[in-house]
Chain A
Amino acid sequence: GAVVSQHPSRVICKSGTSVKIECRSLDFQATTMFWYRQFPKKSLMLMATSNEGSKATYEQGVEKDKFLINHASLTLSTLTVTSAHPEDSSFYICSAREAGEKNEQFFGPGTRLTVL
């Protein structure tokens, strides 16, 4: 299957700082990218959906000013956690899909964020 990469795989930061996570589709054009958050022993929760060149659509309860998503190209989306706090510590996973809702979504390996 297609490959989606995430960088960094692990990040530790101080409270109040901002952290950027990159998601890249390596061998296909991802017209749509998704960002998920996964808590320990919990399901993946969809945070937002972004289409290349347009603003992201956030799920209910997700603060768009705190979790900034940019999908500037067909192979790159970024998630910036602004003014991070310990409660933002989590596992963030991105997913990418080619054009068409019925196409398969491919998932990145995830980024472990720890905010001290």
Chain B
Amino acid sequence: GDSVTQMEGPVTLSEEAFLTINCTYTATGYPSLFWYVQYPGEGLQLLLKATKADDKGSNKGFEATYRKETTSFHLEKGSVQVSDSAVYFCALRGSNTGKLIFGQGTTLQVKP
């Protein structure tokens, strides 16, 4: 079945460092891909998405490109801030089922 694999955390960075969180997927058909963020004590929020190959999703300085050839959707940000500290979830929505399938989440901690 469809699945999502994320790099294990926690990821600890200093402020203004470059961030990459790897995400790869397995799916039949043409899934849509998402990154969600969960700040402490809050629900998951959609960060960005891409619905077809080579699309780039971007929001709040974060970017991810839908790479069909490598089945990846890595999250990147050029300069992280302390306020970016959160748990990040990669997810796909299968074209067959319409259900969201999540990766295990990666905790990011940014230190001043």
- Name the contact of A42 in the complex, choosing from B43, B46, B104 (C-beta under 8 A): B104
> Is the beta-carbon distance between A93 and B99 smaller than 8 angstroms?
no
Q: How far is the CA of A102 from the CA of B30 in the complex (A)?
A: 13
Q: How far is the CA of A26 from the CA of B104 in the complex (A)?
A: 28
- Name the contact of A93 in the complex, choosing from B32, B44, B104 (C-beta under 8 A): B44
In the complex, whether A105 has a CB less than 8 A from a CB of chain B is: yes
Q: A44-B89, A101-B98 are in contact. Are A107 and B103 (CB under 8 A)?
A: no
Find chain B residues with CB under 8 A from A78 CB: none
> Is the beta-carbon distance between A46 and B100 smaller than 8 angstroms?
yes
> Is the beta-carbon distance between A105 and B100 smaller than 8 angstroms?
yes
Counting residue pairs across A and B whose Cβ atoms lie within 8 Å, the total is 40
- Count residues of chain B with CB under 8 A from any CB of chain A: 18
Which A residue's beta carbon lies closest to that of B107? A41
Q: A51 to nearest B CB, angstroms?
A: 12
Find chain A residues with CB under 8 A from B105 CB: 41-43
Interface centre among B45, B101, B102 (most CB of A within 10 A): B102
Find chain A residues with CB under 8 A from B41 CB: 109
> Is the beta-carbon distance between A43 and B100 smaller than 8 angstroms?
no
Q: How far is the CA of A42 from the CA of B102 in the complex (A)?
A: 9
In the complex, whether B69 has a CB less than 8 A from a CB of chain A is: no
- Name the contact of B43 in the complex, choosing from A41, A101, A107 (C-beta under 8 A): A107
Q: A110 to nearest B CB, angstroms?
A: 7
> Is the beta-carbon distance between B43 and A110 smaller than 8 angstroms?
yes
Chain B contact residues, CB within 8 Å of chain A = 4, 32, 36, 41-46, 89, 98-105
Q: 5 A-B contacts, Cβ less than 8 Å apart?
A: A41-B105, A43-B102, A44-B102, A104-B46, A108-B43
